Amino acid sequence: NTSFRGVFKGLQVTPLVLVASILVPYGAFQLIASVHGTTFSWPAYDLPYRIVLFSSGFLGGLLIALVSNKYLEFHQVMLGACFAWLALAIALYLYTPVAANLIILPLIVISLIYAISSFFSEQITRYALLLSLVFVVPVTLGLVLPLEASQGYRLIIVTMPFIALFMTIFVPLIHGAELKLPLIATTITLAIALVVAISSPLYSEHRPQHVNIIYFEQLGTDEGYYWLQHRNPLPEQLQTAHEWSSEKKALVPYSAFEYSNWYQTEASGFEEVQYTIKSDQSHDTGRTLELGLTSPRNARTIQLVLPATTKLASFRLDGNEFKPQQITDNLDERYYFLRFDGVYEREVPLTLELGSSEPIEAFLIDRSTELPRSASKLLEQRSKVLSPQHTGDRAILIKTITL
């Protein structure tokens, strides 16, 4: 029965396959995350997670196939899948034309094979359509592992539609086959993979947990603060290394952002970031201020934070003029942030064009990856399955200055 009504019935199978092949793996990974108590990008051992991803997606599609076998015929399901792919190709062409190429080529191949083989028996048509998988697999399953490797398991949901898209073609191809044994095998495989994934450690030397040690010190005081920058729960050896305070506290004088899990320590003893006023000229519209900024500890980065009341019009660095932008995120008031990277032992020659002639209270900051000696215990406790990432460990010294 390949009437319009029959094809319409078959067309309803495709969205059911899509939904089931996404919901089952989504539920599986939600279960893993709930047991571990966190979500993460790349686990220590990804094989069980990959098995969970594929087996759960296949299980969702097989469950729908088991139902469709009872009520629909092969041609109804196959034509329904073809029309569903056609609708998807049209939608992609209208909104993302480049992505439509992934769907159009396999659809053309399937249509040609289906049209030619329809002159023969249904069994020959089934076998002939298996050839279409050569074109379907690369644009569906072939994209899963690259996406998994690039996006990680925190965004693993982006891979699930491609498994589901494959199942929309695979389900019609296995229509009428005995599915009880494959269902049992897939379910057992999924259950074993879930147990292994849940019981496996999240981190290893090959894929360590990312933890940056951040030290804040407001120069002129006798204290500093350590804070650990991390996403997932800290391992016990770091939690017990010091008495971390859960009280929220602003550790930066110009920011309203409050940190938790910090602890107080003595001042670092590092030399203060230095500045010299080389020229200070007042005029009708404000002041022109020439500064020299240096870091005695050869820090990589120097920052100058100016309040918005200075009405900074522009600043010059090595003869190049720049327009500043005000930043307000997590701040008590508006500030200009001037950041200079790659400083080390060099002096930063800076000229400020200010729209106000009033004295300025600003913040001069240097950032270095060199931590104080008081961080030795933390560094020791950070085992082989923990490592810094991106900007790494940082010691941030903040000096209040008047210009």
Chain segment 181-238, per-residue pLDDT in tens: 999 999 999 999 999 999 998 888 788 888 889 999 999 888 999 998 887 777 777 7
d(CA 211, CA 386): 6
3-state helix, strand, coil in the chain (%, to 5): 45, 25, 30
What is the helix (H) or strand (E) element at residue 351, kind and residue range?
strand 348-354
Helices 13-36 and 180-199: crossing angle, nearest 10°?
A: 30
pLDDT digits (tens, 9 = 90+) for 305-343: 998 888 899 999 988 899 888 776 655 568 888 999 999
Here the tokens at position 69 are: 């076998």
pLDDT confidence of residue 177: 86
pLDDT at residue 366, rounded to an integer = 93
CB 303 within 8 A of CB 352: no
Residue 368's pLDDT is: 93
pLDDT score recorded for residue 299: 93
pLDDT score, position 1: 45
What is the pLDDT, as a whole number, of residue 329? 63
Q: Where are the domains of the chain?
A: 4-199, 208-403
User: How many CA atoms lie within 13 Å of 65's alpha carbon, on the beta-carbon side?
Assistant: 27
Buried b (16+ CB within 10 A) or exposed e, 102-135: bbbebbebbeebbeebeeeeeeebbeebeebbeb
DSSP H/E element including 321 = strand 320-322
In this predicted structure, what is the pLDDT of residue 333? 65
Q: With a cut of 50, which residues of the chain have pLDDT below it? A: 1
∠ CA 18-23-29 to the nearest 5 degrees? 135
Q: Which two tokens stand for residue 85?
A: 């792919």
Q: Write down the pLDDT at residue 331.
A: 56
Residue with tokens 């602890």: 263
Q: What's the pLDDT at 253?
A: 87
**Residue 379 CA: distances (Å) to CA of 213, 298, 372, 382:** 8, 21, 11, 5
169 close to 81: Cβ distance less than 8 angstroms: yes
pLDDT score of 214:
92
CA pseudo-torsion sign 12, 177, 191, 203? negative
